[in-house]
Amino acid sequence: MKYLSHYKYLVFTERLNLTEDGVLPLKVKLNIPGSNLHNGRFMFWLFLAIMLISVFFNFAVISACFYRRFNSPMLLYIALASIADTFWGIVGVSSFFNSTIASRLDITFKECLVQMFCLYFSLFQQFFTTWMMYVDRHWAIFWPYSYVALVANKGGAAKFATIVWAIGLLLSISFVAAATQLVFCNTTVVIPDFICAFFPLAKSSCGNSYLPSTYTITLLFLVIGLTGFTVMYSTWCIVRKCRKSTEDANVKALHTCFTQLFVSVIHFLNYLVMIMFKRFVRHQTFGAIVDLMGITTPALINPLIFGFRVHEIRPRLTMKLVFLKSQFSSD
């Protein structure tokens, strides 16, 4: 009995020293097994070049929308989509630079939470902006009078976008709050990745991970599912309505619908590939390359889709491409 009481006392003091019950860890160690600094430098400069070109393209798209003074709600949503894609790419590439080139493998838990917030904020805004585009186009085609009264006039599109982005902001904050509810058994947490995301952090915890993990994964599936359902349902309805019509307005609506569909396919395929490699391919270095490809792909491809298919943006983007080509030719 005496030894049992002594054992319980040791277990209690060990838990107190390691977790301090409610005190969050002090440091987070980012680690990519099998990677080295030389490969990290090559990957960084490669994806940095891709990201710089992407920023250039997205700036051209945003400036074209601004030049038109957002005279249609769709131009506002395209500009917001470019901002979200660019922010998503910058967060990923800068985090990779921080953990490989700068060799800051140990960061504070607060820095980890900031990374997590930026990651999920840009992710949610990508999906929500896509959702807004489809809701806007569906509303304009099937209920044009109420659309003109509530959205096209009186700044309705800006109010709609503000509300939706505020929801994305609150959901991102809730992910950070969920991470603070995890229980850790050491003052330093090891994450086998180059960026702080919720699920690798939850795997490194030693308690109270069920409810926060259930909440976050349910929320992600709801956001992705809502966007996916809206994309498929709206596309089906618009194609069904416009396929037998030759009116210019319907042809334009169908053209816009497929432009949005191309962007949506890029987003969903991008995240599907990243999830599949995370789930079934256990090679961490190759997984990091796939992550970087997934991070930079939307920012590179989407402005080209918008630029070449939206006539309000095409002249501005073409001018930027000619300028970029002339710079490379002169070199």
Which DSSP string do the residues of 269-302 spell out, in sequence order? HHHHHHHHHHHH---HHHHHHHHHHHHHHHHHHH
Poorest-pLDDT segment among 80-84, 181-185, 217-221: 181-185
Provide the domain count of the chain: 1
Domain-embedded: residue 92: yes
Each residue of 20-45: pLDDT tens digit? 445 677 788 877 655 554 566 777 78
Poorest-pLDDT segment among 4-13, 244-253, 282-291, 299-308: 4-13
pLDDT at 323 over 80: no
Q: Which two tokens stand for residue 270?
A: 């991008």
Q: At what angle do helices 314-330 and 37-67 cross, to 10 degrees?
A: 140
Let me know: does 196 contact 28? Beta carbons within 8 Å.
yes
Q: Which of the residue ranges 38-42, 233-237, 326-330 has the most confident prediction, judged by mean pLDDT?
A: 233-237
Mean pLDDT, rounded, of the chain: 79
In which domain, by residue range, is 237 found? 28-330
Q: Where does the pLDDT of residue 122 fall: very low under 50, low under 70, confident under 90, or very high at 90 and above?
A: very high
Poorest-pLDDT segment among 84-98, 120-134, 311-325: 311-325
Q: For position 283, which CATH number holds?
A: 1.20.1070.10
Domain-embedded: residue 48: yes
Residue 267: per-residue pLDDT: 81
Name, in order, each residue with C-beta under 8 angstroms of 131's C-beta and a sequence gap of 6 or more: 164, 226, 227, 230
- The type of residue at 268 is F
Domain-embedded: residue 121: yes
Domain-embedded: residue 10: no
The structure's pTM equals 0.81
DSSP 27: E
Residue 8: per-residue pLDDT: 40
Nearest to 236 by CA among 222, 223, 254: 254
pLDDT at 133 over 60: yes
Strands (E), the chain: 27-30, 106-108, 188-191
pLDDT at 258 over 90: no
pLDDT at 3 over 50: no
Residue 222: per-residue pLDDT: 95
Residue 12: per-residue pLDDT: 37
Let me know: does 303 contact 60? Beta carbons within 8 Å.
yes
In angstroms, the CA 41 to CA 48 distance is 10
Domain-embedded: residue 3: no
Domain-embedded: residue 13: no
**What is the average pLDDT across 199-204?**
87
Q: Which two tokens stand for residue 36?
A: 């080295």
In angstroms, the CA 28 to CA 106 distance is 6
pLDDT at 6 over 50: no
Q: Which two tokens stand for residue 282?
A: 């256990």
Domain-embedded: residue 264: yes
Domain-embedded: residue 192: yes
